[in-house]
Chains A and B, each alone.
Chain A
Amino acid sequence: MTDWHTQTLTGVRDLLARRDIGAREAVQASLDRIQATEDRISSLLHVDAEQALNRARKLDELGPGQNQPLWGVPLVVKDVFTTKGTPSTCGSKMLQSFVPFYDAEVIRRLKEAGAVIVAKSNMDEFAMGSSTENSAFQMTRNPWDLSRVPGGSSGGSAASTAAGQTPASLGTDTGGSIRQPAGFCGLAGLKPTYGRVSRFGLVAYGSSLDQAGPMARTVRDVAQVLEVIAGHDPKDSTSAPVQVPAYTRALDHREDLRGLRVGVPAEYWGEGIDPEVMEACEQALDRIRDLGAQTVPISLPHTKFAIAAYYIIVMAEASSNLARYDGVRYGLRDSAAKELKDMYTGSRSQGFGPEVQRRILLGTYVLSAGYYDAYYKKAAQVRRLITEEYEQALTECDLLCAPIAPTAAFALGEKSSDPLQMYLTDVFTNPLNLTGLPGLCLPVGQGSRTKMPIGLQLFGRAFEEQTILQAGHVLEQALPPLPQPSALADLT
């Protein structure tokens, strides 16, 4: 297929459903595109060509089954998901040789829907980062400009999809790790409501914040993948027993935004935003009004405390979750250690990179006896204030709208030596994880100065993903489509 990299998931799916192409042809096209682009962007950690082609051959033999909306579609998933028989490293030396014997629930659902997982994507180690520079293995580059970051922590998934390796990918979002890389790479990306998608088989980072979700070239494609992965899973006690609507069908029920109240929170549209981001997002806001929505000024004064609350909570949860890596049952072991305690310490010190160690130390500190109330409990109290504030705002409007980040994708190395500066880039995405509410990122144009993609996000009420998907879809149709990523434009 000559135009594989420009295909949407819906387009590929239709070609497959009509049997214009077979599953093998689709998978081969994906592998060819990986071959052509990977040396420039380094978005993938493991490509399982043989396994993917074998599976495609089987699918071709059987033909599309009932309820297989992703039949034959190649996908890339973040290396944070366990995949049976394929290494799942989480971007860490600690799990370099870890091969799971079970699939994460979302992977199981994708396979059941007929999808073919062709590769696992690069990520910040244990999902801790905003640029994918914390991967223990390689540096992923942004397909729009190879000197810039793809965002993070799902930067490998974002770069891969933006490069057209597959029409969609899976990421996870603990503090913005789906939405921000989607924004930096010119994609649509959704963080579902906490509990909407199972976390079984998702390597834990911040258990009260982590949520898996799709990234793709269009909102419709995002809706299609969500429809497959969403739904109650008894294996995850935080998975919500809530009905899953037919998201893709819901998209056909809206042609404009009439009757929608879109909240514009002052705290997201003020100081510290790069003028090119402001310009692109304000133009999108004008489109939203042209399409018939009423915009409502909103104030969310506690937003400025979100980063501090978020990092205390996520580090506390991380230190607790990462206590399991002790060199006993799986993962790296310091085999030189003569005694058990030395083995724990040696294994953890050799297996974890500097950012992971920093977060474990901070988490250990804020949970320790003398500091628990001052930090962890305090952050949880502020989390309630923020959550109540957002929920109140969403009674005054149907959705909220904000830029995804204060700047477009920054340069590789620009922030990697100063952890606090890196944390502050999450300012517009963190609050949503504290509240558990869903958020959709969609590209609204290119920066006038950098020519990099600019993303806008829409926040919705809990379990009302269809509202933000519908609004995003209508807005997307009204905006000019982005061109192909410039750093790959010479490849056809």
Chain B
Amino acid sequence: MTKMDPKDVAAIAELARLECDDATLQTFARQLEDILTYMDTLNQLDTSEVQPLYSPVRHETAFRGDEVRQEYSREELLSNAPEADGRYFIVPKVF
């Protein structure tokens, strides 16, 4: 049984750059506890000798030469920017 209280959820949310109000923290805490408790069923299996499998890819990683190519124009790359000055992405001050 994994315990999860609203304070724990707030700490994870901080790491994930999310902000939740108190009611949402309460709801998430309850739901995450439920879900993680269900995940605990994996502990019934002894996997001490098992190599993890992170990807089903069956072929060798393909490498290519590290050559500079221009695939898109600056204008295209900036086209979805919430704020830009025609050359750069503009963001608020860092701190």
Q: Do A and B come from one complex?
A: yes
Chain A interface (Cβ < 8 Å from any Cβ of B)? 97-99, 101-102, 194-195, 208, 234, 237-238, 240-242, 302, 304-305, 307-309, 311-312, 319, 326-333, 335, 337-346, 348-349, 352, 354, 357-358, 360-362, 364-366, 368, 375, 377-385, 387, 419-420, 423, 434-436, 462
Query: A330 to B92, alpha carbons, bound, how many Å?
Result: 15
Given the known A-B contacts A309-B42, A360-B16, A381-B50, are A237 and B62 also in contact in the complex, defined by CB atoms under 8 Å? yes
**Can you sample 27 A-B contacts with CB below 8 Å?**
A101-B72, A194-B56, A237-B62, A240-B59, A305-B41, A308-B41, A311-B35, A326-B17, A329-B77, A329-B81, A330-B81, A333-B82, A333-B83, A335-B82, A337-B92, A339-B93, A340-B95, A341-B95, A345-B18, A345-B19, A348-B17, A361-B28, A364-B12, A381-B50, A382-B47, A382-B50, A420-B31
Complex contact B42–A378 (CB within 8 A):
yes
Partner of B53, one of A326, A383, A419: A383
Q: Is B28's CB under 8 angstroms from A358's CB? A: yes
Q: Which residue of B lies closest to A319 (CB)?
A: B16
A contact residues around B20 at 8 Å (CB)? 349, 357
- In contact, B72 and A102 (Cβ under 8 angstroms): yes
A340 B50 Cβ-Cβ under 8 A = no
Q: Are B61 and A387 in contact (CB under 8 A)?
A: no
Given A319-B16, A345-B18, verify A308-B95 contact (CB < 8 Å): no
Is the CB–CB distance between A361 and B58 below 8 Å? no
Contacts of A346 in B (CB 8 A): 19
Is B1 interfacial (CB 8 A cutoff)? no
List the B residue with the shortest CB-CB distance to A376: B52
Interface SS of chain A: helix, strand, loop or mixed? Answer: helix
| B27 → chain A closest CB, angstroms | 8
Q: Which residues of A contact B17 (CB under 8 A)?
A: 326, 341, 344-345, 348
Cβ A240 vs Cβ B58 within 8 A: yes
**Contact string against A for B residues 78-95, beta-carbon threshold 8 Å, 1 for contact and 0 otherwise:** 011111000001011111
Q: How far is the CA of A454 from the CA of B54 in the complex (A)?
A: 33
Asked if residues A330 and B53 are in contact (CB atoms below 8 Å), the reply is no
CB of B38 to closest CB in A, whole Å: 6
- Could you say which of A194, A238, A332, A385 contacts B47, with CB atoms under 8 Å apart? A385
In angstroms, Cα B39 to Cα A305, docked, is 9
Q: In the bound complex, how far is the Cα of B47 from the Cα of A242, in angstroms?
A: 32
Check A308/B39 contact, CB under 8 A, given A339-B92, A381-B47: yes
Question: Which chain A residues lie closer than 8 Å to B62 at the CB level?
Answer: 234, 237, 241
Inter-subunit contact B19/A328 (CB<8 Å): no
Instruction: List residues of chain A with CB within 8 A of the CB of B56.
Output: 194-195, 208, 387, 434-436
Q: How far is the CA of A205 from the CA of B84 in the complex (A)?
A: 27
Kindly identify which residue among B18, B38, B52, B61 contacts A308, using a CB–CB cutoff of 8 Å. Answer: B38
Q: Mark B37-73, 1 if CB is under 8 A from A, else 0.
A: 0111111110100111111111101101000000010
Q: Roughly how many angstroms separate A361 CA and B17 CA in the complex, as a whole number?
A: 10
The listed residue (B51, B54, B79, B91) touching A343 by CB distance below 8 A is B91
A341 to B19, CA, bound (A): 12
Interface hub of B15, B18, B39, B40 (most chain A Cβ within 10 A):
B39
Taking CB atoms, residues of chain A closer than 8 Å to B94 are: 339-340
Contact check: which of B35, B40, B59, B80 meets A195 at CB < 8 Å?
B59
**Known contacts A101-B72, A305-B42, A340-B91: does B18 contact A361 (CB below 8 Å)?**
yes
The residues of A that contact B58 with a CB separation of less than 8 Å are 195, 240, 436, 462
